[in-house]
Amino acid sequence: MSDVIYIDVLVAINIFVTWLLLACGVFFSAVPVKRWRLLLGALAGGAVSLLILLPPAPWWLLAGEKLLCSLGIVFTAFGFGGWRRFLRCFTAFFAVNFAFAGIMLALWLTIRPGGMFYRNGAVYFDVGLPTFVIFACVCYALARGAALLLRRRHPGANACQAAIRIEGRSITLSALYDSGNRLTDGFTGAPVAVAEYAALERFLPEELRAFFRGEMDYMDLPGGHPWRPRLRQVPFHALGQEGLLPAFRSDFVLAKSLGGRNQEGQRTEGAIVAVTTQALSDGAYSMILQADMLDA
């Protein structure tokens, strides 16, 4: 083999490629994920790229290696969160990864661009830093534009709108229907949706915003406030984390599907809305509905 591979270029390129594939996997799986987990997954992908340095492997061994590596990357980036959720994340990532690998293999077998090397499922481009930066920016812009275009033209079956109503006031948020979300209030059994604080801030009473940001203890809440009987804390467990989320009981939540499921809307009386200061997505939605809040 006369090709020269620079380890730093190999790892850097595959970190970026893995990040791009994971970002596409997030879009197609519609599973919210934290950016730091995506970065960890991308770093894992960079480490996996070192397989290119091994001698050529038979297809069955290569398939097993790629399967195990993909499982590890998906677990690092998405966590577990139940078999159904993990399988959805893995399927989305593996499909995107398979398509990318096919494109790279086709390029290598047909035109074999100068400086390109493909082996053991890993790809290497011998390019300078300025070229790599331009390539990275262009790929990111194209992927971002394609994702936004698909969301506008073809809203997924899980894309929804949810109107929260309290004492004559309402707010409508972009939402995601999650069939795996079975969170309920321990006292009333009411379904619990999760919404971003940033999206709800203008709707929440100013004197209670510190509570919803996690800066005020439940016991210190003003007793005479009209919202006081509505407030509570909801236990949660997700992605290896657990704790209490501040929440309120709504008069009702009216959920409408944007992609074929119950477009007429479904009204859930007394639905609980838990509030998180964490971003639930990259801007595609700001609320996650409980499974019972929209008929499948």
Question: What is the Cα–Cα distance from 170 to 254, expressed in whole angstroms?
Answer: 10
pLDDT (0 to 100) of residue 91:
81
Residue 197 Cα to chain centre, angstroms: 18
Q: What is the pTM of this model?
A: 0.51
Q: Which of 16-20, 101-105, 175-179, 272-276 has the largest mean confidence? A: 272-276
Kindly state the helix (H) or strand (E) to which residue 235 belongs, with its residue range.
strand 231-238
275, 288 in Cβ contact below 8 A? Answer: no
**Torsion sign over Cα 225, 226, 227, 229:** positive
Cβ-proximal residues to 245 (8 Å cutoff; 6+ apart), any chain? 194, 233, 234, 236, 274, 275, 276
Question: What is the Cα–Cα distance from 8 to 207, expressed in whole angstroms?
Answer: 52
85, 180 in Cβ contact below 8 A? Answer: yes
The answer on pLDDT for 125 being more than 80 is no
Q: Per-residue confidence at 246, pLDDT binned at 50, 70, 90?
A: very high
Q: Per-residue confidence at 154, pLDDT binned at 50, 70, 90?
A: very low
Longest Cα–Cα distance in the chain: 79
Condensed to tens digits (0 to 9), the pLDDT of residues 19-41 reads: 777 877 776 666 666 778 888 88
pLDDT (0 to 100) of residue 132:
59
pLDDT (0 to 100) of residue 198:
92
What is the length of the chain? 296
Q: How many CA atoms lie within 13 A of 128 on its CB side?
A: 2
